[in-house]
Structure 1
Amino acid sequence: MKEKIKKEKLKIAMIGHKAVPSRRGGIELVLTTMCPIMVEKGHDVTCYNRSGGEAENEYAGTVKNNMYKGVKLKKVFTVNKKGLAAMTSSFSAAICASFKKYDVVHFHAEGPCAALWIPKLFGKKCVCTIHGIDWKREKWKGGFGSKYIKFGEKVAAKFADEVIVLSKSVQQYFMDTYRRETVLIPNGVSRPQIREAQLITEKFGLHKDEYICALSRLTEEKGIHYLIEAYQQVKTDKKLVIAGDTSDTDDYVKKLKHMAAGNPNIIFTGFVSGNLFEELFSNAYVYVLPSNLEGMPLSLLEAMSFGNAVIGSSIPEITDVVENKAIIFKKADVANLRDKLQEVCDDKNMVLKYKTGVADFICSKYNWNAVVDRTLELYYGK
């Protein structure tokens, strides 16, 4: 019989994110969602935020006295330069946490795990979540960043008391590479509020079902260049909306905008949040995720929670999530993506088929309360 989670209050430190509350990245959204649930369940949670930067408008007024929904927020020393921010903030946070009475210090992402040995040295229970194999990302390839992140991965594999992964493929990677047992706890999703098109009409001239939507950080592994190239070959009056911002990838963003130059039907919205984000997902015709590399794509879960038909690439991190509830194209195959886009643009009934019941499917399969409960089980010990 499965042992119930013990009720003793835990003091928990979270390290490795940019800021809470925020939705500027997957890790930030995970912690912004999970940590208040942990507080509701009676635990003491502190998030070590990087210094500098402000919360998005949707979180304005939610932080009072360095608290967000009961979650304590502490800023740590950060060198806010490309390649140094994550490193300096995670080491600063690890040192701070080592001298506090935490029961669990939870590191997020491979790079920040390079500092995991510090609280471990002080006898803390250290848990890490591997949100993806980050050293493989294009922006780090071949340089110091890639080597440093891989070092963090090795530290996590060797010293962490528990390693959480988000997908079966990453779980297999850790077993094959390090003979390290890991625990699979995928991300969750909340049922959203569906909104009529208002702000998106005012800002971008968009109406319901008139556009194909992609939302992600604009980094090369997300495959937005495949989408633009494929879309340019599709015969349709549907617009292509690309929502998201640079992630130390300004050259790649310039490349995307150069590819789209001269086509008024390709719209770059920049970073979106709050009502604007909800309207974009509520009114899209289809959502496309053309990634080469993912951890556990929260934008995919969110798109489906809004009832969107999805076209996704054939990587396991996507296909394992969607099962038979989405349209899959061959990874990095522009011609195959073009054909799938043309198919959905020509067949409204096909789109309706993939929209029907998809929100119920994804919201029941991936539940944040269950994610938090499984994480707490790990904190206490199996």
Structure 2
Amino acid sequence: MAVSMFGQKRLSREGGIEIVVKELCTRMAQKGLAVTCYNRSGHHVSGAEYDRKTEYKGICQKYVPTIERKGLAAVSSSFFAALCSAFGKYDVVHIHAEGPAFFALLPKMSGKRVIVTVHGIDWQREKWKSGFGSKFIRQGEKNAVKYADEIIVLSKGVQDYFRNTYGRETRFIPNGVNRPKIHNAEQISDKFGLTKDSYILFLGRLVPEKGIRYLVEAFKNVKTDKKLVIAGGSSDTDSFMEELKNLAEDDDRIIFTGFVQGQMLDELYSNAYIYTLPSDLEGMPLSLLEAMSYGNCCLVSDIPECTEVVEDKALIFRKSNVEDLQEKLQDACDHPETVIKMKKQAADFICEKYNWDDVVEETMQLYRR
């Protein structure tokens, strides 16, 4: 079976979609599928050495023309990827995210089986709430409903949304997680002075809907000698990153690391006191699955996409409520016994609940139908 995938930037850790595509494709290639990923051209946030790799663990990577401007990179790359997928020798075309699904008709017209994974209701995100990008993504959602043979969703809430809005049934296949190796604090000690349990961690893209503004405001009023580590890069949101840094400038306990990967990422997850995800909006938060797989006590907002994941195995605060977040952070700092209890049960719980091999098998069943 030959499969084409597009919608990701490239096989990297730049965002949740990229991680999902990488995990799916790697395992599918191991199972004997001929997998081709159509990636964006352009610079990789991790460095020039990652810009154009043509093969990754049995996956064929091809690069399509990309207009490197906000709002046009996804549109241009998705169009050319859909065109290549339509005319290529593929049995299945798997499209990731609502925007790229705008072009679902192209492979559908050429007789391909079309699968769309909706990673979240993207037009609700801050940067796509108006203008051309918003219209493009909303139409992509409608085209997925109209042309896709199957739509995969990552949460029950999104499944309800498609049923109520379009009368369209979808397939609920959540993301998976790998059980990691725990790393001692070495690089993070040398670079940032961090040690085991000395910091509260946020890790993700620095975008408004992640609730980082609430986190900074709440943490500034928490009485603790622990630091707040905000790890991640911007996503067409440089002005928001500057706003966060200005908000945090009078508190030297707050550290911005920028984009992290490799050993630095492993060490940050492995040595955090708690991991927090204060989001207003999520698809299915892979960083939360990863944080729990490292045995972290997690503090999350009460949006369904987070509470479905953690059940009763994490601390929860009311979405967008700075005072409640501050209170929960203070409680966690004052009561390490609660944090230790959460840590002990996190990894086994999450690794048993979300398994990549199960995700791949369910996805391949949709391919075969």
Q: TM-score, with normalisation over the residues of structure 1?
A: 0.95
Which residue, out of 248, 253, 256, partners 2:244? 256
| Cα separation, 1, equivalents of 2:170 and 2:56 | 30
1:342 maps onto 2:330 in alignment: yes
Amino acid in structure 1 at the alignment position of 2:148 = A
Question: Quick check: 1:62–1:68 contact (8 Å CA) kept in 2?
Answer: no
Partner of 1:15: 6
1:5-28 deviation digits (Å, cap 9, x = unpaired): xxxxx10000111011x0010010
Distance in 2 between residues matched to 1:377 and 1:338, nearest whole Å: 45
Is 1:281 the counterpart of 2:269 in the alignment? yes
| Residue aligning to 2:88 | 100
The 1:55–1:143 alpha-carbon spacing in structure 2 relative to 1, beyond 3 Å, is: closer
d(CA) in 2 for partners of 1:114 and 1:375?
21
- Matched position secondary structure for 1:357: helix
Give, in whole Å, the separation in 2 of the partners of 1:29 and 1:118: 25
Classify 1:62/1:85 alpha carbon distance in 2 versus 1 (closer, same or farther; 3 Å).
closer
- Choose from 119, 129, 144 the match for 2:117: 129
Structure 1 distance, partners of 2:24, 2:49, is 19
Matched position secondary structure for 2:324: helix
Range 166-175 or range 351-360, more displaced = 351-360
2:17 is equivalent to residue 27 of structure 1: yes
Matches within 5 A, 1:46-195: 46-54=36-44, 56=46, 66-195=54-183
Give the partner amino acid of 1:367.
N
Specify the alignment match of 1:326 in structure 2. 314
Once residues 54 and 276 of structure 1 are traced to their aligned partners in structure 2, the CA distance between those partners, rounded to angstroms, is 18
Any gaps of 5 or more consecutive residues in structure 2? none
The question of 1:45 aligning with 2:45 is answered no
Matched residue, 1:5: none
Q: 2:225 pairs with 221, 227, 237, which one?
A: 237
Please tell me whether the aligned partners of residues 104 and 126 of structure 1 are also in contact (alpha carbons under 8 angstroms).
Answer: yes
Question: Gapped runs of 5+ residues in structure 1?
Answer: 1-9
Shift of residue 228, structure 1, vs aligned partner: 0.3
How do 1:287-366 and structure 2 match up within 5 A? Answer: 287-366=275-354
Give % identity: 57
Shift of residue 263, structure 1, vs aligned partner: 1.1
Q: Any idea what the Cα deviations from partners look like across 1:199-255, whole Å, max 9, x if unmatched? A: 001111111100000011000000000000000111000100000111001111111
1:226 is the counterpart of 2:214: yes
Counting matched residue pairs gives 369
Which AA in structure 2 matches 1:220?
P
The superposition leaves residues 88-142 of structure 1 with CA deviations (integer Å, 9 ceiling, x where unpaired) of 0000010011111100000000000001111111111100000000000001112
CA RMSD of aligned residues (A): 1.4
The answer to whether the 8 A contact 2:52-2:63 is kept is no
Shift of 1:299: 0.2
Letter aligned with residue 89 of structure 1: S
User: 2:43 touches 2:51 (CA, 8 Å); kept in 1?
Assistant: no
Q: Per the alignment, in what secondary structure is the counterpart of residue 200 of structure 1?
A: helix
CA contact (8 A) 2:275 2:296 kept: yes
Q: For residues 88 and 239 of structure 2, what CA distance do their matches in structure 1 show? A: 42
Q: Contact 1:62–1:69 (CA<8 Å) still a contact in 2? A: no
